């Protein structure tokens, strides 16, 4: 069979109601007295803390099942209610049922033919395992008549007075009357009303017996003062019992109807709030202190309820969370852990004759000195805390077979995570580096996979507790194993920001360093020192020290201007990168070399030389780049966006021209001289042409500004090397911000026929439509500022909506795919063993190991070979 | 006016596998026929080529990653 591996399969789950008999059968004792403990502190028999309801104290045995405290899950008791009460959870259903049934004969208010039709429909749906909700809704809408079709009885309107009062005409039905009416409904009719007679009868929605949950559900707490404090549920049950008692006594004494009814109401109130203390229309029951009681529904509901806070999400041990901060000196594989945390979370170590001395040393240090230990677990599983006073004794007793929970120390493997955990690189295994202060430290190269920055981000750390998990994490989850992303087959871990600028400054043409500077840099990057030559070094020579000796690679750098005809080795921007036998012959190192998301050299090293080599390369190259940038010096300010007066004049002239052109277009439109573009209305054509003119104007103004920027400008270096920012950012600061848009077009909203009251009606020129012709540096005028805020707001709203939408989309996708697995022969199967794909991805390629999604990058191979053969 | 849907560019090639080929396929993959992906008997192509319930179709289609890709489907009611 293809269900192999499945031992037990759930064929169906029935949901039904509990009958009074079920409740009595399950009950181990009747609860009669509202008291809990007697003067001596012993639980009272037939009280709410009756010992038969289960035990909490370990050591005591349960009177009902005989198991020890902690093992006995408790037993239900029951309260016989003096008068029936309506269950709040079913009040709505009761109301709907009573409205759709006859008051005298109990039949559903449908004709025989209708009943037959609905019955066959329902049976058909049940057979096909389809949902009944819609048809039952239809029945409730249909079964409302003034006269019963079966006994001709006139029907009265039944209303519900939230939460539990059922009113017929002007008379309020008592729960007993409600129950009697529900009892009259024949089982066949109940089925049509959505109550399956096999598992529930309508009258069970009115309670005659109340189950009392075991004490394990509502444990009492002993305060330090020796005072006992009962659970909210127990308090509520006491109230119920008291009123129940009084009601019973009054009834037996033959008290006037009015008094009995009042007590009955009160009993209904207590039972209602026992189930749900936030039911609308009922004042919540309060504790003596005035705090509303937390009853059954409140335990389950909402974010802090059982489902969301205890079942879907759980707290874990051996974990830590704190703010993150950068540390360029640690390896990408490492994480800096504050000593405070290292002393709190522990690693269990089995004592053997080979490590006993070492472990004794930890115990000697105790819980407060760093490489210490917090607990010792004896072979009989008893856990002993190590105190300053007890550590000597514990140390004496230590022998193989014991387990020592020692502090986290350098080299331990931990799991490091940042929410939202959207892809597998959101949880990676790091090696611990215990450091002073209170933040987690991480290498800057691992910011992109975690999507982390240091504006207050916090991250979580989990300590592995078994050898197996450590081994698995080390081989599968270590940071270096995740340099290549399965998303696009390229590196996701790599240099960022200053790493890129630094490498560019280091390796750009005519970048020469004095030999002592070079040695200083190498020393700082912890690289082996080469022999002294006595001559100055070029940056390319320095960078070549990091490259594997047999590396051959050719690619175009990020600074490539994409000329019409590539000059290759003669590139005047130094953008044609050639690496021959591990020597950087030409080209500058930038984002394309070892940046996150696009680093070609890094990508090549991981794929050809393995992850160890790649980690070394990344650690060394980023450190070298930082040393480089420190020697060269690097700074940016608005002075970088400064252009001469003549440039400003040229831009002004250009923008004026464009604005005039827009006026001309509008004039042409008004005179009906404008030719519509194919498939567009005249208005659309005008809009498009205006957008085009203004777009061009912005671009041209940018080009003018750019022509005054050179590679000696630090902001430009950052933009062109891909370190941070773009040329667009710079030209918006310098020349012209450009058209603001809302919903993909120029701004048209606001007042009738105009965007702001400062304009004439009907005019939609460049300014009126939200064209910002100032630059950020000049400053925007108030109207421009307002339009800019409109465009900016749309951007913010869009990102907020996009994250929510894509988050839910991803969640559904992950839920659909999580149980799929790839078999050794490449078939993809789900957990039932059904084939999803006969070959993974149809080509059996692991995208993380592919060349940007392709099986092989032929161009890359050919280029590599060409260099080799050219020598 | 009925067009031959099998000749449409977007309809991949469907071929009914012979009993022996089906057995070989199932043996190679070490699976039961029920584990194969399904195709409904009222699928236009299935009707066109006259496959019966229980037949296994070999479908050869263009693939963005592999160029050409062969997969199998079990005809079901």
A94-136 tens-digit pLDDT: 999 998 888 888 888 888 888 899 899 888 888 887 888 889 8
User: How much is the average pLDDT of A244-260?
Assistant: 90
Asked whether the beta carbons of residue A2 and residue B35 sit closer than 8 angstroms, the reply is yes
Q: What does the pLDDT read at residue B73?
A: 94
Asked whether the beta carbons of residue B71 and residue A841 sit closer than 8 angstroms, the reply is no
Chain A contact for B6 (CB, 8 A cutoff): no
Is the per-residue pLDDT at A522 higher than 50?
yes
Nearest to B31 among A835, A843, A845 (CB): A835
Is the per-residue pLDDT at B31 higher than 70?
yes
Q: Which residues of A touch B72 (CB under 8 A)?
A: 838
Q: Compare all CA atoms of chain A with the CA of B73 and give the residue at the minimum distance.
A: A835
Flag the least confident range among A446-460, A558-572, A754-768. Answer: A558-572
Q: What does the pLDDT read at residue B1?
A: 63
Domain with CATH 2.40.40.20 in chain A: 319-474
User: In 3-state terms, what secondary structure has residue A82?
Assistant: strand
User: How much is the average pLDDT of A148-173?
Assistant: 84
Chain B contact for A2 (CB, 8 A cutoff): yes
Is the per-residue pLDDT at B24 higher than 70?
yes
Q: Which residues of A touch B35 (CB under 8 A)?
A: 2, 829, 833-835
Q: What does the pLDDT read at residue A25?
A: 92
What pLDDT band is residue A3 in, cutting at 50, 70 and 90? low
Q: Which residues of A311-336 are buried (b: 16+ CB within 10 A; e: fewer)?
A: eeeeeeebebebebebbebbbbbbbb
Which of A831, A832, A835, A851 would best serve as a mutation to test chain B binding (most B beta carbons within 10 A)?
A: A835
Residue labelled with tokens 């987690």:
A440
Asked whether the beta carbons of residue A843 and residue B65 sit closer than 8 angstroms, the reply is yes
Nearest to B63 among A825, A834, A842 (CB): A842
Q: How many angstroms separate the CA of residue A428 from the nearest CA in chain B?
A: 29
Nearest to B31 among A2, A841, A845 (CB): A2
Q: Which range among A50-64, A570-584, A604-618 has the greatest average pLDDT?
A: A604-618
Number of structural domains found in chain B: 1
Is the per-residue pLDDT at A2 higher than 60?
no
Q: Model confidence over A194-239: pLDDT tens digits?
A: 888 888 999 999 999 999 999 889 888 888 887 778 889 999 999 9
Q: What does the pLDDT read at residue A614?
A: 94
Chain B contact for A253 (CB, 8 A cutoff): no
Chain A contact for B27 (CB, 8 A cutoff): no
Taken as a whole, chain A contains a residue count of: 871
Containing structural domain, residue B15: 5-76
Give φ, ψ of A643 to 5 degrees. Answer: -130, 155
> How many pairs of residues across A and B have Cβ atoms under 8 Å apart?
39
| A180 touches A98 (CB < 8 A) | no
Residues with Cβ within 8 Å of residue A29, at least 6 apart in sequence = A46, A50, A52, A53, A77, A78
Topology of A319-474 in CATH? Barwin-like endoglucanases (2.40.40)
**Domain A638-797 belongs to what architecture?**
Orthogonal Bundle (1.10)
Which position has the higher pLDDT, A303 or A373? A373
Tell me how far the alpha carbon of residue A705 is from its chain's centroid.
Answer: 43
What pLDDT band is residue A615 in, cutting at 50, 70 and 90? very high
Which of B32, B60, B61, B65 would best serve as a mutation to test chain A binding (most A beta carbons within 10 A)?
A: B65
Q: How far apart are CA A325 and CA A438, in angstroms?
A: 10
Torsion angle, alpha carbons of A488, A489, A492, A497, to 10: -80
Contact map slice: A 686-725 vs B, CB within 8 A: none
Flag the least confident range among A149-153, A475-479, A607-611. Answer: A149-153
Q: Compare all CA atoms of chain A with the CA of B62 and give the residue at the minimum distance.
A: A842
Which position has the higher pLDDT, A318 or A677? A318
Is the per-residue pLDDT at A582 higher than 50?
yes
Token representation of residue A543: 């960078």
Q: Which residues of B touch A838 (CB under 8 A)?
A: 29, 70-72
Asked whether the beta carbons of residue A839 and residue B32 sit closer than 8 angstroms, the reply is no
Domain with CATH 4.10.860.120 in chain A: 31-75+213-300
Q: Which residues of B touch A845 (CB under 8 A)?
A: 65
Chain A contact for B71 (CB, 8 A cutoff): yes
CATH of the domain at B38: 3.90.940.20
Q: How many angstroms separate the CA of residue A831 from the nearest CA in chain B?
A: 11
Q: Model confidence over A622-674: pLDDT tens digits?
A: 999 999 999 999 999 999 999 999 999 999 999 999 999 999 998 888 888 88
Q: What does the pLDDT read at residue A4?
A: 58
Is the per-residue pLDDT at A503 higher than 90?
yes
Nearest to B65 among A2, A834, A845 (CB): A845
Domain A498-632 classified CATH 1.10.274.100?
yes
Q: ∠ CA A650-A656-A657 to the nearest 5 degrees?
A: 90
Residues with Cβ within 8 Å of residue A72, at least 6 apart in sequence = A54, A55, A62, A64, A65, A216
End-to-end Cα, chain A, rounded Å: 63
Q: How far apart are CA A528 and CA A476, in angstroms?
A: 30
What pLDDT band is residue A386 in, cutting at 50, 70 and 90? very high
Q: Which range among A59-68, A139-148, A346-355 has the greatest average pLDDT?
A: A346-355
| A790 touches A806 (CB < 8 A) | no
* Mean of all residue pLDDT scores within chain A: 89
Token representation of residue A859: 């161009």
Q: In this prediction, what percent of chain A has a pLDDT beyond 70?
A: 99
User: How much is the average pLDDT of A692-720?
Assistant: 91
Q: How many angstroms separate the CA of residue B12 from the nearest CA in chain A?
A: 15
Q: Compare all CA atoms of chain A with the CA of B31 and give the residue at the minimum distance.
A: A2
Q: How many angstroms separate the CA of residue B72 from the nearest CA in chain A?
A: 8
Q: Which residues of A2-26 are buried (b: 16+ CB within 10 A; e: fewer)?
A: eeeeeeeeeeeeeeebebbeebeee
User: How much is the average pLDDT of A242-255?
Assistant: 90
Element (H, E) at A554: strand A553-556
Q: Model confidence over B44-63: pLDDT tens digits?
A: 999 989 898 999 999 999 98
Nearest to A2 among B34, B37, B70 (CB): B34
Asked whether the beta carbons of residue A1 and residue B32 sit closer than 8 angstroms, the reply is yes
Is the per-residue pLDDT at A724 higher than 90?
yes
Half-sphere exposure of A7 (CA within 13 A, CB side): 0
Token representation of residue A454: 């240091």
Tell me how far the alpha carbon of residue A326 is from its chain's centroid.
Answer: 23
What pLDDT band is residue A72 in, cutting at 50, 70 and 90? confident
Q: How many angstroms separate the CA of residue A834 from the nearest CA in chain B?
A: 4
Q: What does the pLDDT read at residue A1?
A: 46
Q: How many angstroms separate the CA of residue A830 from the nearest CA in chain B?
A: 10
User: How much is the average pLDDT of A142-158?
Assistant: 84
Q: Which residues of A touch B32 (CB under 8 A)?
A: 1-2
Q: What does the pLDDT read at residue A6?
A: 67
**Cα separations (Å) of A71 from A54, A66, A74?**
10, 10, 9
**Cα separations (Å) of A10 from A7, A13, A14, A99?**
10, 8, 11, 37
Q: Which residues of A touch B65 (CB under 8 A)?
A: 841-843, 845
Contact map slice: A 794-833 vs B, CB within 8 A: 825, 827, 829, 833
Q: How far apart are CA A584 and CA A46, in angstroms?
A: 89
Q: How far apart are CA A95 and CA A77, in angstroms?
A: 29
Kindly report the CATH class assigned to A31-75+213-300.
Answer: few secondary structures
Q: How far apart are CA B37 and CA B26, in angstroms?
A: 13
Asked whether the beta carbons of residue A2 and residue B70 sit closer than 8 angstroms, the reply is no
User: In 3-state terms, what secondary structure has residue A774?
Assistant: coil
Domain with CATH 1.10.274.100 in chain A: 498-632
Q: Model confidence over A658-672: pLDDT tens digits?
A: 999 999 998 888 888
| A92 touches A165 (CB < 8 A) | no
What pLDDT band is residue A254 in, cutting at 50, 70 and 90? confident
């Amino acid at each position: 069979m293809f269900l192999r591996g499945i031992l037990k399969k759930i064929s169906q789950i029935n949901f039904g109601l509990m009958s009074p008999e079920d409740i009595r059968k399950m009950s181990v004792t009747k609860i009669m007295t509202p008291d809990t403990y007697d003067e001596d502190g012993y639980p009272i028999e037939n009280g709410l803390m009756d010992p038969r309801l289960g035990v909490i104290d370990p050591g005591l045995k349960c009177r009902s099942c005989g198991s020890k405290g902690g093992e006995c899950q408790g037993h239900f008791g029951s309260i016989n209610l003096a008068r029936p009460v309506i269950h709040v959870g079913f009040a709505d259903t009761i109301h709907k049922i009573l409205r759709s049934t006859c008051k005298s004969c109990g039949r559903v208010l449908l004709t025989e033919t209708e009943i037959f039709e609905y019955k066959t429909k329902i049976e058909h749906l049940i057979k096909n395992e389809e949902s009944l909700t819609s048809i039952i809704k239809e029945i409730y809408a249909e079964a409302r008549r003034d006269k019963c079709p079966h006994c001709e009885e006139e029907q009265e309107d039944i209303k519900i007075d939230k939460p539990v009062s059922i009113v017929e005409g002007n008379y309020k039905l008592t729960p007993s009357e409600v129950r009697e009416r529900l009892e009259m409904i024949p089982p066949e009719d109940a089925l049509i009303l959505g109550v399956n007679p096999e598992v529930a009868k309508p009258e069970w929605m009115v309670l005659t017996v109340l189950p009392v949950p075991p004490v394990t559900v509502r444990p009492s707490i002993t305060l330090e003062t020796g005072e006992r404090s009962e659970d909210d549920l127990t308090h509520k049950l006491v109230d119920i019992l008291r009123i129940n008692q009084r009601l019973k006594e009054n009834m037996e004494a033959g008290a006037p109807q009015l008094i009995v009814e009042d007590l009955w109401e009160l009993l209904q109130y207590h039972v209602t709030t026992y189930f749900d203390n936030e039911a609308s229309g009922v004042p919540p029951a309060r504790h003596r202190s005035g705090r509303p009681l937390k009853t059954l529904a409140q335990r389950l509901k909402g974010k802090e309820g059982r489902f969301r806070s205890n079942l879907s999400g759980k707290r874990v041990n051996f974990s830590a969370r704190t703010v993150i901060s950068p540390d360029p000196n640690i390896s990408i594989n490492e994480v800096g852990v504050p000593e405070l945390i290292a002393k709190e979370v522990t690693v269990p170590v089995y004592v053997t004759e080979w490590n006993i001395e070492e472990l004794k040393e930890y115990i000697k240090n105790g819980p407060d000195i760093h490489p210490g230990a917090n607990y010792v677990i004896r072979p009989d599983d008893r856990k002993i805390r190590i105190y300053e006073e007890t550590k000597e004794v514990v140390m004496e007793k230590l022998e193989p077979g014991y387990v020592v929970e020692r502090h986290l120390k350098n080299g331990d493997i931990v799991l490091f995570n940042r929410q939202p955990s959207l892809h597998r690189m959101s949880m990676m295994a790091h090696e611990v580096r215990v450091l002073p202060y209170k933040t987690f430290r991480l290498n800057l190269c691992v910011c992109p996979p975690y999507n982390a920055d240091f504006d207050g981000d916090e991250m979580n750390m989990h300590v592995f507790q078994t050898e197996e998990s450590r081994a698995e994490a080390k081989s599968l989850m270590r940071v270096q194993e995740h340099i290549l992303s399965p998303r696009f087959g390229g590196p996701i871990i790599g240099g960022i920001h200053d790493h890129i600028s630094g490498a560019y400054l280091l390796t750009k043409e005519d970048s020469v360093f004095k030999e002592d500077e070079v040695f200083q840099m190498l020393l700082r990057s912890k690289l082996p020192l080469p022999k002294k030559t006595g001559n100055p070094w070029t940056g390319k020579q320095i960078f070549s020290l990091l490259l594997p000796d047999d590396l051959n690679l050719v690619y175009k750098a990020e600074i490539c201007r994409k000329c019409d005809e590539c000059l290759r080795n003669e590139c005047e921007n130094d953008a044609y990168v050639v690496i021959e036998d591990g020597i950087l012959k030409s080209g500058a190192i930038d984002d394309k070399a070892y940046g996150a998301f696009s680093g070609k050299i890094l990508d090549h090293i991981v794929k050809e030389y393995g992850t160890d080599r790649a980690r070394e390369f990344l650690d060394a190259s980023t450190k070298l780049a930082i040393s480089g940038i420190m020697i060269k010096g690097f700074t940016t300010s608005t002075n970088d966006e400064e252009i001469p007066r003549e440039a400003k004049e040229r831009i002004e002239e250009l923008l004026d021209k464009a604005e005039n052109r827009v006026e001309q277009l509008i004039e042409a439109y008004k005179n009906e001289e404008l030719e519509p573009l194919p498939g567009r209305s005249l208005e659309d054509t005008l809009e498009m042409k205006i957008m085009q003119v203004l777009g061009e104007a912005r671009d041209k103004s940018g080009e003018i500004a750019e022509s005054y920027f050179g590679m000696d400008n630090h902001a430009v270096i950052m933009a062109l090397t891909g370190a941070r920012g773009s040329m667009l950012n710079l030209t918006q600061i310098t020349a012209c911000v450009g058209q603001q848009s809302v919903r993909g077009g120029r701004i048209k909203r606001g007042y009738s026929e105009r965007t702001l009251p400062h304009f004439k009606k009907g005019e939609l020129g460049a300014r009126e439509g939200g064209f910002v012709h100032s630059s950020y540096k000049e400053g925007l005028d108030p109207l421009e500022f307002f339009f800019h805020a409109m465009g900016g707001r749309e951007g913010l709203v869009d990102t907020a909506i996009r994250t929510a939408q894509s988050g839910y989309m991803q969640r559904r996708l992950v839920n659909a795919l999580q149980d799929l697995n790839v078999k050794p022969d490449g078939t993809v199967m789900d957990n039932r063993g059904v084939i999803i794909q006969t070959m993974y991805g149809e080509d059996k390629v692991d995208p993380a190991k592919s060349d940007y999604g392709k099986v092989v990058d032929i161009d890359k191979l050919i280029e590599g070979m060409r260099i080799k053969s050219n020598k | 006016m009925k067009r031959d849907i099998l000749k449409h560019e977007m309809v991949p090639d469907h071929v009914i596998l012979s009993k022996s080929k089906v057995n070989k396929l199932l043996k190679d993959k070490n699976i039961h026929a029920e584990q194969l992906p399904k195709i409904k008997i009222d699928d236009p192509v299935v009707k066109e080529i006259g496959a019966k319930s229980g037949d296994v179709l070999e479908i050869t289609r263009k693939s963005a990653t592999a160029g050409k890709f062969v997969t199998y489907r079990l005809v079901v009611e």
